[in-house]
Structure 1
Amino acid sequence: MTLLFNRPTYALALLLTLALPWLAQAAEPLPSWHDGPAKQRLLAFVQTVTDPDSQGFVQPAERIAVFDNDGTLWSEQPGYFEALFAFDEIRRLAPQHPDWTHQQPFKAVLENDHKALAEEGTQDLLKIFMATHAGLTTEAFGDNVQRWLAKARHPTTGRPYTEMVYQPMLEVLDYLRSQGFTPYIVSGGDTGFMRAFAEKVYGIPPQQVIGSRFVTQYQLMDGKPSILRTAKIAHNDDGAGKPESIDSVIGRRPILAFGNSDGDLPMLQWTAAGSGPRWMGLVHHTDAKREWAYDRDSNIGRLDKALDAAKQQDWTIVDMASAWRTIYPFEASATAQQH
């Protein structure tokens, strides 16, 4: 047999072949996005703020990006995942609280009475969160969340909740980090709940996760220091609470903000009010086939006033049905296996 090329040439060819998938991904940021206006506007913005020769150049330390979690980084239907966790925790703890079988709102949870739960007021629903989120240490609460995430499955897809994340948004996070951005989660969910999975799922470390908080208390138990989560809300990180926590925790105004509901509107307004280049985006849930379709009339993730503001101020509206090639990572994996 006659060799068509020598060993050095063969080795180089093999190296290039192995590198092609990586080179293709590097050459095409956001591969799960269709090449439409939403993708192009985001790429153009990042190029502007990272080009030292651009008038809109922003120093890396100031490249702060903030993201809502529910409905922006992962799904939020048929209910907020943290609420579904709280309901499961009520069922798990029920044997220790026999009075719950005849006491609302716990009775409704134990009987899977969705109608009664829907009719409960904010104070009654808060009782469920107090019973499942407070009165234990931060470590114990985090362990409860991780145990639940390991076993619980989404009621519609049957997938672990940590697989119900958006592949296109994971790519945005990776892309921004590669361009010197620091991404933060700024969401209405409990900080401890999100910290239990954010680093593993999103690559966002605990110190970059901002959410609603309970009043905590330092204590010594058997000579061992711990932080107790008390039954009192310290901060509700929704609506106006988001820019308030950004100002107090981050200390810099973001240049990029991503949300999906009216609860994110103040965060988007706060970001937009800064000087220099700004990018504000909304995930619009328009894909009933691959995810869910809802906006103005939804009780979960309502997008009404923020949608109007986005249209009036020319913010980027990411139409899920038309902007995203895939929704979830498991879809991308299945497509790759087919080919």
Structure 2
Amino acid sequence: MSVAASVFRCVSLAVAGLVVLAASALAQSDPLPSWNDTAPKKAIVAFVERVTTQNTADFVPESERIAVFDNDGTLWVEQPMYTQLAFALDRVKLMARQHPEWKDQQPFKAALDGDMKALAAAGQKGLAELIMTTHAGMTVEQFQKIVTNWLATARDPRFKRPYTDLVYQPMLELLAYLRANGFKTFIVSGGGVEFLRPWTEQVYGVPPEQVIGSSIKTKFSMRDGVPILLRLPDVNFVDDKAGKPVGINEAIGRRPIAAFGNSDGDLQMLEWTTLGASGPRFGMLVHHTDAEREYAYDRQTEFGRLDQALEIAPDNGWTVVDMKADWKTIFPWE
């Protein structure tokens, strides 16, 4: 290495070190820069400081710092419909040529007609049938490839951007802040676990083994001497409402000390995390109040209804985030 190259390398390393130190200092001074300096931000920081301060009664060892996050409406957009439902509708249209009977058969007729009211009226059973039919009959690897390809090309109808662009910058900061303070972050979603796992690590920094979700049954078999897992059109587990605490217990084996959601589908997860347990606990609901920058909805929506959880939040000590008032920015690209 020449003297000039050696000097350049030293200078580069020094500059890089200064950048890292500056970033670290900034993170310490304001770990949540996209949050307004309102009550929710203060509550988050106070909780993290409380459980990470050693030699105090509220100190929590890193092994017990478990934080769970809902996905739809908590980490990314869930209007005008869940992203996985948009994926399923595209799958129905793609597969419809092989199924002419679908034009007169619900919920497939509603999917082909774009009838959201009829889809909502089909309820959980109808949506489960739609998802099982369009998500099964292939290997796990084949399904993951289909999901990855769809996310690379599909666009949200309002923002005209990839769905993975429609993640909430304040929540990305929150995930990073918690991990920087020794928390292990999990996604606990009513959506399909195999739909989420191909991309959550890249987008959220949450690896696939820390994703809990609904699932269909899979079967191990050998195909031409190669072991495969085949996805079957049969429900295995629904990770929603009362299913969320069950999924957390089965997958993690520890009770979380912090839970973040946005709807009544997250109610039992927040209750399991915060009620009847010893030590400091934190529960938070994201309330969608910003129709201009995102959406405003709660009790009157088919997707992400927030009613009962919002009513009991004050009595349970849960922090409610007013998206319009508490977030400076919503999306990373703003």
Q: CA 1:125 to 1:12, structure 2 compared with 1: closer, same or farther past 3 Å?
A: closer
Q: Does 1:306 align with 2:326?
A: no
In 2, distance between residues paired with 1:144 and 1:14?
39
Q: Deviations over 1:269-294 (max 9, x none)?
A: 11112210000000011111111111
When normalised by structure 2's length, the TM-score is 0.91
Deviation at 1:133, TM superposition (A): 1.2
What are structure 1's unaligned runs of at least 5 residues? 1-10, 332-339
Which residue does 2:129 correspond to in 1?
Answer: 127
Which residue does 1:335 correspond to in 2?
Answer: none
Q: CA 1:14 to 1:73, structure 2 compared with 1: closer, same or farther past 3 Å?
A: closer
SS at the partner of 1:165? Answer: coil
Q: Deviations over 1:23-68 (max 9, x none)?
A: 3244210100011110011101101111112210000000000000
SS at the partner of 1:291? Answer: coil
In 1, distance between residues paired with 2:105 and 2:299?
34
Equivalent in 311, 321, 329 of residue 326 of structure 1: 329
Q: CA 1:113 to 1:27, structure 2 compared with 1: closer, same or farther past 3 Å?
A: same
Q: CA 1:233 to 1:261, structure 2 compared with 1: closer, same or farther past 3 Å?
A: same
Q: CA 1:147 to 1:12, structure 2 compared with 1: closer, same or farther past 3 Å?
A: closer
Which residue does 2:3 correspond to in 1?
Answer: none
Q: Does 1:185 align with 2:187?
A: yes
Deviation at 1:308, TM superposition (A): 1.3
Which residue does 1:67 correspond to in 2?
Answer: 69
Alignment of 1:210-289 (within 5 A): 210-273=212-275, 274-289=277-292
Paired residues, what number? 323
Deviation at 1:118, TM superposition (A): 4.0
Q: Deviations over 1:164-216 (max 9, x none)?
A: 10000000000111100000001100000011211110010011000011111
Identity fraction in percent: 53
Deviates further, 48-57 or 168-177? 48-57
Deviation at 1:104, TM superposition (A): 3.1
Deviation at 1:158, TM superposition (A): 0.4
Which residue does 2:112 correspond to in 1?
Answer: 110
In 2, distance between residues paired with 1:27 and 1:252?
31
The letter for the 2-side match of 1:263 is G
In 2, distance between residues paired with 1:105 and 1:16?
58
Deviation at 1:130, TM superposition (A): 1.6
Deviation at 1:219, TM superposition (A): 0.8
SS at the partner of 1:292? Answer: coil
In 1, distance between residues paired with 2:79 and 2:205?
23
Q: Deviations over 1:86-114 (max 9, x none)?
A: 00111122223233334333233223344
SS at the partner of 2:51? Answer: helix
The letter for the 1-side match of 2:112 is L
Q: CA 1:12 to 1:129, structure 2 compared with 1: closer, same or farther past 3 Å?
A: closer
Deviates further, 106-115 or 192-201? 106-115
In 2, distance between residues paired with 1:108 and 1:14?
55
| Paired residues of 2:132 and 2:235 also in contact (CA < 8 A) | no
What's the Cα RMSD here? 2.1
Q: Does 1:317 align with 2:320?
A: yes
Which residue does 1:28 correspond to in 2?
Answer: 30
In 2, distance between residues paired with 1:22 and 1:121?
48
Deviation at 1:127, TM superposition (A): 2.4
In 2, distance between residues paired with 1:178 and 1:222?
46
In 1, distance between residues paired with 2:202 and 2:212?
16
Deviation at 1:131, TM superposition (A): 1.5
Deviates further, 42-51 or 120-129? 120-129
In 1, distance between residues paired with 2:175 and 2:262?
16
Which residue does 1:3 correspond to in 2?
Answer: none
Deviates further, 107-116 or 142-151? 107-116
Which residue does 1:40 correspond to in 2?
Answer: 42
What are structure 2's unaligned runs of at least 5 residues? 1-12
The letter for the 2-side match of 1:252 is R
Q: CA 1:57 to 1:103, structure 2 compared with 1: closer, same or farther past 3 Å?
A: same
The letter for the 2-side match of 1:55 is A
Deviation at 1:160, TM superposition (A): 0.3
